[in-house]
Amino acid sequence: MKLILQCAWLAKVGWDECLSEDIVAKFRKWQAEIKCLQGVQIPRHLTGRICSRDNKLQLHTFCDASKDAYAAVVHLRDADECGRVSVQLIMTKSRLAPLKRPTIPRIELLACVIAARLTHFIRESLSMPAMQSFLWSDSSSALSWIKQNDEWGTFVGNRVKEICSLTEPSDWRHVPGIHNPADLPSRGVHRLSC
């Protein structure tokens, strides 16, 4: 929906003017597909997991970007003393890429920024600042910038500085794009079936 709104805004259509057929078609498709979300359920109760001292909790944050948007997705991994593992979605955030389109590696770096912010926010919200965290990206360029934490230009340098202030560079890992759950909110998903 954010992309549809951005298209309407870029078309500079007045408030009382009709939208183009292309924008209307995109909206109608989105409107038909949104009905599928009625059946989606995401369990959000975390209290029992976090209070148990025997469990080994980890945060796994994935980030990804496309030419149109970037996103981060945070999961809580829970392993008990018997070796049973469960993974639960905690939080996600997506944003539209800037209108003055930077390069894909720079948009990937923006995804890493929101991944670092979400990870930090969740650790603080759960009062567990030392919780083991893994941050995953499929961008070799962004990972290289973060791990080297060198003197970069202004755009890259400011974002790497923020990422490194919120996370440890050693917490960042590579994930193949096909296995990256943040690919869905960064590229969008069309209904397969309801």
pLDDT tens figures, 162-192 = 999 999 999 999 999 888 888 877 776 655 5
Q: How confident is the model at residue 14 (pLDDT cuts 50, 70, 90)?
A: confident
Which pLDDT score, from 0 to 100, does residue 52 have? Answer: 52
Q: Which DSSP state fits 46?
A: -
Which pLDDT score, from 0 to 100, does residue 187 have? Answer: 74
Quickly count: other Cβ atoms within 10 Å of residue 139's Cβ: 24
Which pLDDT score, from 0 to 100, does residue 151 have? Answer: 83
Q: By the 8 A CB rule, do 38 and 58 touch?
A: no
Q: How confident is the model at residue 133 (pLDDT cuts 50, 70, 90)?
A: very high
Q: What is the dihedral of CA 15, 21, 25, 28, to 10 degrees?
A: 40
**Is residue 193's pLDDT more than 80?**
no
Kindly write down the DSSP assignment for every residue of 64-98, as one continuous string: EE-SSEEEEEEEEEEE-TT--EEEEEEEEEEEEPP
**Is residue 111's pLDDT more than 80?**
yes
The angle subtended at Cα 14 by Cα 12 and Cα 19, nearest 5°, is 75
**Is residue 47's pLDDT more than 70?**
no
Residues 51-73 have a mean pLDDT of 84
Q: State which fold the 47-187 domain adopts.
A: Nucleotidyltransferase; domain 5 (3.30.420)
Kindly write down the DSSP assignment for every residue of 95-117, as one continuous string: EEPPSS---HHHHHHHHHHHHHH
Quickly count: other Cβ atoms within 10 Å of residue 147's Cβ: 13
**Is residue 85's pLDDT more than 90?**
no
* pTM, 2 dp: 0.84
User: How far lies 145's CA from each of 2, 132, 180, in Å?
Assistant: 29, 22, 20
The length of the chain, given as a count of residues: 194
Domain locations along the chain: 2-39, 47-187
Q: By the 8 A CB rule, do 116 and 162 touch?
A: yes
